Amino acid sequence: MSESGIKKVVLAYSGGLDTSVILKWLQETYDCEVVTFTADIGQGEEVEPARIKALACGVKEIYIDDLREEFARDYVFPMFRANAIYEGEYLLGTSIARPLIAKRLIEITNETGADAISHGATGKGNDQVRFELGAYALKPDVHVIAPWREWDLNSREKLLKYAKNHGISVDAKRKDGRSPYSMDANLLHISYEGNELEDPWQEPADDMWRWTVSPEKAPDQPTYIELTFKQGDIVAIDGEAMTPATVLESLNKVGGANGIGRDDIVENRYVGMKSRGCYETPGGSIILKAHRAIESLTLDRESAHLKDELMPRYASLIYNGYWWSPEREMLQTAIDHTQTVVNGVVRLKLYKGTVMVAGRKSEHHSLFDESIATFEEDGGAYNQADAEGFIKLNALRLRVAARRKS
């Protein structure tokens, strides 16, 4: 046992370069037993190789959990009920996965009697904040080991050298000899950072994108899909009932095939710096458009407007790592209350990178009244003469102020 008193650490472990080095570093630095936890949240890669790598490093307790349905059902879908989008562009694909991983880290810590948790987030990024805020909210006295804030392996090249010196197997580098992009993937998105993307003027190479075809190469004929909503969540595509995870998987495929969901963003990180990242979120882009369409039909005006006012705060809470905070839970309760009437079907037209609403209907909860909204004879449903008094009452304060100025 090390002088720190730490005997066992639960490590969020992907099997990639960073966490493979961290695993060995923890064993050497803290002279402790390491428990590895690998989450399958739909990153599209095999997670079993992580087990093989962990075994090769002498790990005895290995957790590999399929969390795809929980991720989609309990995190992604609630977030989209809020139409959450950070700084007008980012659909929070990385951010929303962190509270689930933090939750499972703490559960495993309790199950195994571990003394600490560890993660591979760098000291410059948001993820360290998200993981640790979540962990402290769920286990206030948990000990956190963040190697990037302790060691001197502060570059990809140093990590690769450490891995080579310690016989750690890592993925091959790119053909040009440089380290690969820093990427994060799950059911909702895939992100890219680093290398030439660190120059905000540099356009991403087309072969960087993995999930989507370029809009120029997308089909010349549009694709139509129908999404069925129940209490704000998609429950079927083209009439076929699906689970939340299957919904995301299906929308990612059809969206990616039509060039939908690419984004290139310079965002404000919580730690204070600006960061440039590229994202592919085909399914999420479709969900956001469809959800707003069904809400436009079913939500009362003031409820919808209040939701829009609250959304930036809700999005910032998720981005900054406050999923487990009382204020996020309070907002979620209010948002979910509005969703009881968000039921119906939205028809979308997908075409060369765009998502267009082609129709929306709600049999029992539509607030659209054609007899009132029509430009034709309305049979007395709306008395246009009433508008005069409405306008004059609302103009009263403006008229009073104008007289004072004259």
Helix (H) or strand (E) holding 228: strand 223-230
Domain that holds residue 283: 183-361
The DSSP result for 338-391, as a single string, is HGGG--EEEEEEEETTEEEEEEEE-TTT----HHHH-SS--TTSS-TTHHHHHH
**Considering its fold, how many domains does the chain have in total?**
2
Query: Residue 136 sits in a domain of what CATH number?
Result: 3.40.50.620
- Considering the domain architecture, whether residues 36 and 103 belong to the same structural domain is answered as yes
- Considering the domain architecture, whether residues 102 and 169 belong to the same structural domain is answered as yes
- Considering the domain architecture, whether residues 136 and 276 belong to the same structural domain is answered as no
Last residue of a domain, one of 120, 147, 180: 180
Alpha-carbon radius of gyration of the chain: 25
- Considering the domain architecture, whether residues 135 and 218 belong to the same structural domain is answered as no
Dist CA 245 CA 85 (whole Å) = 20
Please enumerate in sequence order all residues whose Cβ is within 8 A of that of 127, keeping only pairs 6 or more positions apart, or say none: 94, 98, 119, 121
CB distance 170 to 24 below 8 Å:
no
- Considering the domain architecture, whether residues 105 and 214 belong to the same structural domain is answered as no
State both tokens at 303: 């409820």
| Catalytic residue selected from 14, 18, 130, 360 | 18
- Considering the domain architecture, whether residues 100 and 193 belong to the same structural domain is answered as no
Residue 357: count other Cβ atoms within 10 Å of its Cβ: 15
pLDDT for res 108: 98
Length of the chain: 406
In a domain, 292, yes or no: yes
Q: Is 98 a catalytic residue?
A: yes
Report the interhelical angle of 301-320 vs 282-298 (nearest 10°). Answer: 150
pLDDT for res 171: 63
Residue 94: count other Cβ atoms within 10 Å of its Cβ: 22
- Considering the domain architecture, whether residues 231 and 257 belong to the same structural domain is answered as yes
Q: Is 31 a catalytic residue?
A: no
pLDDT for res 206: 92
Q: How far is C-alpha 389 from the geometric centre of its chain's CA atoms?
A: 47
- Considering the domain architecture, whether residues 118 and 104 belong to the same structural domain is answered as yes
State both tokens at 74: 């309990």
pLDDT tens, residue by residue, 206-250: 999 999 999 999 999 999 999 999 999 999 999 999 999 999 999
Last residue of a domain, one of 125, 155, 180: 180
In a domain, 191, yes or no: yes
CB distance 249 to 42 below 8 Å:
yes
- Considering the domain architecture, whether residues 76 and 171 belong to the same structural domain is answered as yes
pLDDT 10s per residue in the chain (406 long)?
456 789 999 999 998 889 999 999 999 999 999 999 999 999 988 888 899 999 999 999 999 999 999 999 999 999 999 999 999 999 999 999 999 999 999 999 999 999 999 999 999 999 999 999 999 999 999 999 999 999 999 887 899 999 999 988 776 444 444 446 788 999 999 999 988 999 999 999 999 999 999 999 999 999 999 999 999 999 999 999 999 999 999 999 999 999 999 999 999 999 999 999 999 999 999 999 999 999 999 999 999 999 999 999 999 999 999 999 999 999 999 999 999 999 999 999 999 999 999 999 999 999 998 888 888 888 888 889 999 999 999 999 999 999 998 7
Number of Cα atoms under 13 Å in the Cβ half of residue 315: 21
- Considering the domain architecture, whether residues 159 and 73 belong to the same structural domain is answered as yes
In a domain, 405, yes or no: no
| Catalytic residue selected from 68, 127, 191, 360 | 127
230 φ, ψ to 5°?
-135, 115
In a domain, 221, yes or no: yes
Query: Residue 328 sits in a domain of what CATH number?
Result: 3.90.1260.10
| Catalytic residue selected from 68, 81, 98, 262 | 98
In a domain, 220, yes or no: yes
DSSP reduced 3-state for 291: helix
Query: Which residues is 263 bridged to in the sheet?
Result: 279
Please enumerate in sequence order all residues whose Cβ is within 8 A of that of 292, keeping only pairs 6 or more positions apart, or say none: 83
pLDDT for res 180: 64
The DSSP result for 229-275, as a single string, is EETTEEEEETTEE--HHHHHHHHHHHHHHTT--EEEEEEE-TTS-EE
Phi/psi-derived region of residue 53, left when phi > 0, alpha when psi is between -120 and 50, beta in every other case: alpha
| Catalytic residue selected from 20, 118, 182, 362 | 182
Last residue of a domain, one of 180, 202, 225: 180
Q: Is 300 a catalytic residue?
A: no
Chain position carrying tokens 């959450």: 84
State both tokens at 228: 């069925």
Q: What is the DSSP letter of 9?
A: E
State both tokens at 225: 């899909």
pLDDT for res 202: 95
- Considering the domain architecture, whether residues 56 and 154 belong to the same structural domain is answered as yes
pTM over 0.85: yes
In a domain, 138, yes or no: yes
pLDDT tens, residue by residue, 15-66: 888 999 999 999 999 999 999 999 999 998 888 889 999 999 999 999 999 9
Burial grade of 171 (CB within 10 A; 0-12, 13-18, 19 or more): exposed
In a domain, 351, yes or no: yes
- Considering the domain architecture, whether residues 165 and 27 belong to the same structural domain is answered as yes
State both tokens at 126: 């948001």
pLDDT for res 176: 46
In a domain, 402, yes or no: no
pLDDT for res 175: 46
Q: Is 18 a catalytic residue?
A: yes
Long-range contacts (CB closer than 8 Å, 24 or more residues apart) made by 106-109: 106/134, 106/135, 106/138, 106/139, 106/142, 108/10, 108/35, 108/37, 108/63, 109/10, 109/139, 109/142
